[in-house]
Amino acid sequence: MGELGPADTNGILSLPWIRPERTSAGLGWDRIYLSKQREQPYRAEFGPARTHQLILHLAGPVTVRRGVGSPGERSRRIPAGGLFLQPSHQELSVELGGELDTLHVYLPDSAVQEAAGSDAPVRLADELGSVDPLLEQLVLALDGVVREWEPGARAYADQLGALVAAQLARQHRSGRSVPAAPRSVEALTDRQFAQVRELMDERLAEPLGLAELAATAGLSVSRFARRFKARTGLPPHRYLLRLRVDQAGLLLRTGTEPIAEIAVRCGFSHQEHLTRVLRAHLGTTPAALRRDG
Of 54, 25, 223, nearest to 125 (Cα)? 54
pLDDT at 176: 62
Q: How far apart are CA 160 and CA 150, in angstroms?
A: 15
pTM, entire model: 0.68
Q: How far apart are the first and last CA of the chain?
A: 48
Q: Cβ distance 266 to 233 under 8 Å?
A: no
Q: Cβ distance 169 to 112 under 8 Å?
A: yes
- Grouping H, G, I as helix, E, B as strand and the rest as coil, residue 161 is helix
pLDDT at 71: 82
Q: How far apart are CA 233 and CA 238, in angstroms?
A: 10
pLDDT at 251: 93
User: How many of the other CB atoms lie within 10 Å of CB of 95?
Assistant: 17
pLDDT at 180: 38
pLDDT at 287: 92
40: left (phi over 0), alpha (psi -120 to 50) or beta: beta
- Grouping H, G, I as helix, E, B as strand and the rest as coil, residue 27 is coil
Give 177: exposed, middle or buried? Use CB within 10 Å, 0-12, 13-18, 19+: exposed
Q: Cβ distance 201 to 213 under 8 Å?
A: no
Give the contacts of 49 (CB within 8 A, at least 6 positions apart): 8, 9, 10, 11, 86, 88, 89, 106
pLDDT at 181: 36
Of 190, 283, 293, nearest to 245 (Cα)? 283
Q: Cβ distance 277 to 268 under 8 Å?
A: yes
Query: Can you give the pLDDT of all 293 residues of the chain as single tens digits?
Result: 578 877 878 788 888 888 899 999 999 898 899 999 999 999 999 988 889 999 999 988 899 999 887 888 999 999 999 999 999 999 999 999 999 999 999 999 999 999 998 778 899 999 999 999 999 999 999 999 999 888 888 889 999 999 999 999 999 998 764 333 344 568 899 899 999 999 999 999 998 989 999 999 999 998 999 999 888 888 999 899 999 999 999 999 888 999 999 999 999 999 999 999 998 888 889 999 888 86
What's the CA dihedral at 254, 259, 260, 264 to 10 degrees? 30
Give 226: exposed, middle or buried? Use CB within 10 Å, 0-12, 13-18, 19+: buried
